[in-house]
Amino acid sequence: MVSRRGVLGGIAAVGAGAAVAGCAPRPTPVEPAPLPSGPFPWGVMSGDPRPGSVTLWTRVNTAGVSPSTQVSWQIAADEGFTDIAAQGVESTDSSRDFTVKVAIDDLDPDRRWFYRFGHDGIYSATGNARTAPVPGANVDRLRIAFVSCQMYSEGYYAAYRHILDEDVDFVVHLGDYIYEYGTDSEEYGLKRLRQDPVDQPKTVEGYRSKYRLVRRDADLVECHRQLPFVAIWDDHEVFDDYDRTVDPAIRGAAYQAWFENMPFIARPEDPTRIHRDLRWGNLVDMYLMDLGQYRDPEAPAPFLSLADDGKVAHEVGRTMLGSVQREAVKGWLQDSDATWRVIGNPQMIKPLRLIDLDSPELRAIDPKLPRNAGLYLNGTQWDGYQWERQQILDHIAAVSPNDNIVLTGDIHSWWAGTVQQDIDDPNSPNVAAEFVGSSITSPGFDFYTGVNIPFASEAVQGALGTFDYVNLFDHGYGICEVTPTGTKVDYRKVDIDDPGAGVETLASFRVDRGNHKINRVR
């Protein structure tokens, strides 16, 4: 079966002959920066801001630490820690890789907080946390950054330094926080700018080493210190295109490392559940979806609906979400009374159909032709799970047809387009506006062409005819600002070759309330 990464090269064929991948010699990978001194060299993090609670994280340097270590924590209303709201002591040990997580409740809503950890009289850097407004509170703005796909060896995380200048409330990480590939892997990657010694981890220690490595990046550590993160996983947190049939030992090791290293605490009754909702006053309901651990194996890629192996993508009951999550998403859509709904969606939901085969003529020849038949590029994203996608889109149309924004990652390129309830029914409504952000560093279509070919993006957008924007090559992050009257999305480009790179705006869009039309404003 061709992997998702391989099939994406099909689009890049529009630039064939312009360049040959791998012509330029790779530089010698740079060794990670030395760890800072002190007991907290991996920094501090906060996550999942809620009206009265936050989650805090750190990791203690294990050098010279006893088998069990005590770490103190404080959270205060002021940076000088004279007005302490809560404090305590946590134990940690090797069973959790000396990480510390604290869920703090009963805080005042809708305000900034300061926190720190302590060990042997030495304090960590002071972190910034944030509590959300209470449900129903009048809120004028929510501004977030959304990011994904940060393969350490492929470039520098300068994007995170620029996010700090964006005045955002928090960062949504849509997955692929780590990658299983090491610097010496022949399977995937293009630049190999930084040294990553671990390839294809299978044990918890192997996965832990990946998180320790990416946290050697000073820009990422500083962004975590200053801004809350709301994180979900995609697939490379385990390995490329994994699904529910993965070896339980490998999945268990990967999940353990993720939970140890993210500022999120799962429910005891469902310890691997990460899909969840967040509320921001009366303005935004957000749902973060897990498209990895419950899904059926991917469809072949590319796939043709008329072929026997391609018909699997249309099978009734085929799932990406799993039945429990699917019903949770439906219930969230049903119950939401916020002005806007925002879905954190690791993989593109808008159809990426290359050839339309759902015509009356073909249906007359084959009455059993699947709905929305065609030639599709990618069987791993929602195109490979069409029955379930239709379930979700039909439900949105029925219970919350207006003011839905989808923020997506995964495919290392920029896309923007409206999501129609049924692409083959011209009278069906648009039910969402989807914005797909590119990667922090992971290779885009330059992996297949060797260089950035600007006309390729324009050619693909024109050939498909259903997207408002396509950029196949540049890297960076997205900014989504939601107000009562509209949502604005900016795509920011950052050069991954230069740790001191600047930032520029590639494009800006606006979606007005009551209309999912995407208006390009820059």
| Domains of the chain: total | 2
CATH of the domain at 80: 2.60.40.380
The last residue of a domain, from among 135, 164, 194: 135
Half-sphere exposure at residue 296, Cβ-oriented, CA atoms within 13 angstroms:
19
Q: What is the 3-state secondary structure (H, E, C) of 301-357?
A: CCEECCCCCHHHHHCCCCCCCCHHHHHHHHHHHHHCCCCEEEEEECCCCCCCEEEEC
The last residue of a domain, from among 135, 156, 187: 135
Percent of the chain's residues with pLDDT above 70: 95
pLDDT of residue 367: 84
| Residues 495, 435 share a domain | yes
User: What does the pLDDT look like over 314-372, one tens digit per residue?
Assistant: 999 999 999 999 999 999 999 999 999 999 999 999 999 999 999 888 888 888 889 99
The last residue of a domain, from among 98, 115, 135: 135
Q: Which domain holds residue 258?
A: 4-30+141-520
| Residues 368, 288 share a domain | yes
| Residues 400, 259 share a domain | yes
| Residues 279, 197 share a domain | yes
Provide the CA 452 distance to its chain's centre, in angstroms. Answer: 23
In this model, does residue 19 exceed pLDDT 70? Answer: no
User: What does the pLDDT look like over 53-111, one tens digit per residue?
Assistant: 999 999 999 876 778 899 999 999 999 999 999 999 999 999 999 999 999 999 999 99
Helices and strands in the chain, H and E counts: 11, 25
Which band of pLDDT confidence, cut at 50, 70 and 90, is reported for residue 24? low
| Residues 283, 169 share a domain | yes
Half-sphere exposure at residue 18, Cβ-oriented, CA atoms within 13 angstroms:
16
| Residues 469, 394 share a domain | yes
Strand pairing of 469-471 and 404-408?
unpaired
- Omega of the bond prior to 302 within 30 degrees of 0, cis? yes
| Residues 482, 377 share a domain | yes
| Residues 115, 237 share a domain | no
| Residues 389, 332 share a domain | yes
Distance CA 90, CA 75 (A): 14
| Residues 165, 290 share a domain | yes
| Residues 168, 127 share a domain | no
Kind and range of the H or E run holding 488:
strand 486-494
User: What does the pLDDT look like over 200-232, one tens digit per residue?
Assistant: 999 999 999 999 999 999 999 999 999 999 999
In this model, does residue 162 exceed pLDDT 80? Answer: yes
> Nearest Cα to 210, choosing from 152, 267, 260, 287?
152
CATH of the domain at 418: 3.60.21.70
Average pLDDT over residues 258-285: 97
| Residues 205, 105 share a domain | no
